[in-house]
Amino acid sequence: MFKQLLLLLAALMFGMSALAADNQYTLGVKGVACPYCAYGVEKHLNKVDGVENVSVDIGDSVVRVTMAEGATLTEVKARTAVKEAGFTLQSFSQAQAKRGESNDP
């Protein structure tokens, strides 16, 4: 019984992450070179309505933004937030839901 519950919980978590992929964005930000830089970008992006999570990969200068269900991030909003943090937005893309991944039997 316990194993079945764990499997069900794992399936639900996997399913939720697949659904969240529709609300994820990847930003290329020029000049993010240290934790302080990352904090500034996070701080300004978190002020955008609907942002649930921001993670910064300093090594690759990539920022991943997760939006609340039903919310979208426009390139204009992203560019403005990044500029207010003192950086330049180099690229903007919405994560694509992976095809072929399904929890349906």
78-101 pLDDT, tens digit per residue, is: 999 999 999 999 999 998 654 444
pLDDT at 2 over 70: no
- Per-residue pLDDT band at 1 (split at 50, 70, 90): low
**Second-level CATH architecture of 23-94:** 2-Layer Sandwich (3.30)
Q: What is the pTM of this model?
A: 0.71
For residues 85 and 43, the answer to whether their CB atoms sit within 8 Å is yes
**Which residue has 């694509």 as its token pair?**
96
Give 75's pLDDT tier (boundaries 50, 70, 90). very high
User: Domain segments of the chain: what residues?
Assistant: 23-94
Residue 30 backbone dihedrals phi, psi, to 5 degrees:
-75, 130
User: What pLDDT sits at residue 72?
Assistant: 94
Ordered alpha helix ranges (H), the chain: 2-20, 35-45, 75-84
**Structure-token pair, residue 22:** 């529709």
pLDDT tens-place string over residues 46-61: 999 999 999 999 999 9
DSSP state letter for 48: S
- % of the chain with per-residue pLDDT over 70: 70
